[in-house]
Amino acid sequence: MTASSGRADAAATTDATDNRSSGSAVDALVHLRADGVSLLVDVRGGLLPAVVHWGDDLGPLAAEDAAAVVLAAAAPLANSAPDEPVRLALVPEPRTGWLGRLGLVGERDGQGWSPAFTTTAATLCGAALPTGLTEAGAGALRVTATDAVAGLTLALDVELTPDGVVRARATLGNDGADPYRVHELGVTLPVPPRARELLDLTGRWGKERVPQRHALTVGTHLREGRRGRTGFEAPTVLTAGVPGFGFGHGEVWGVHVGWSGNHRHWAERLPTGEHTLGGSELLLPGEVTLASGAEYETPWVYGVHGHGLDAQAARLHRMLRRRTAHPRSPRPVTLNVWEAVYFDHDLERLTALADAAAALGVERYVLDDGWFRGRRDDTRGLGDWEVDEDVWPDGLDPIADHVHGLGMELGLWFEPEMVNLDSDLARAHPEWVMGTGGRVPVTSRHQHVLDLANPDAAAHVLERMSAIIGRYGVDYVKWDHNRDLVDPGSGRDGRPVVHAQTLAAYRLMAELRRRHPGLEIESCSSGGGRVDLGVAEHTQRVWVSDCTDPLERQQMQPWTAQLLPLEYLGAHVAADVSHQTRRTSSVAFRAATALFGHFGIEWDLTRATPGQLAELSGWVELYKAERGLLHTGRLVRQDVPAEDGLQVWGVVADDRSRALFQLATLTRPATAPPGRITLRGLDGERRYRVTPLTASREAFGFWNAPPWFGLPSADGAVASDGVTPQPRPARPDDVPRGTVLTGRALAVSGLQAPEAVPETSLVLLVEAVD
Indicate which residues carry an active-site annotation.
480, 546
C-beta of residue 709 within 8 angstroms of C-beta of residue 738:
yes
CA 355 to chain centre: 34
Amino acid identity, residue 479? W
Beta bridge partners of 676: 752
Residue 721, Cβ density class (10 Å: 0-12 exposed, 13-18 middle, ≥19 buried): exposed
C-beta of residue 550 within 8 angstroms of C-beta of residue 700:
no
Q: What is the DSSP letter of 76?
A: P
C-beta of residue 432 within 8 angstroms of C-beta of residue 450:
yes
Cα–Cα separations (whole angstroms), residue 759 to 455, 705, 708: 50, 17, 22
Per DSSP, which regions of 653-719 are E strands? 658-665, 676-677, 687-692, 702-704
Its sign, for the CA torsion 278, 282, 286, 291, is negative
Amino acid identity, residue 129? L
Q: What is the DSSP letter of 431?
A: G
Q: Which helix (H) or strand (E) holds 748?
A: helix 743-748
CA 765 to chain centre: 27
Amino acid identity, residue 238? L
Beta bridge partners of 53: 40
C-beta of residue 51 within 8 angstroms of C-beta of residue 190:
yes
Measuring CA to CA, which residue among 605, 613, 600, 604 is closest to residue 553?
A: 600
How many other CB atoms are found less than 10 A from the CB of residue 215?
Answer: 10
How many other CB atoms are found less than 10 A from the CB of residue 442?
Answer: 10
- C-alpha–C-alpha distance, residues 290 and 180, integer Å: 5
Per DSSP, which regions of 348-459 are E strands? 364-367, 409-414, 418-419, 448-449
Amino acid identity, residue 583? R
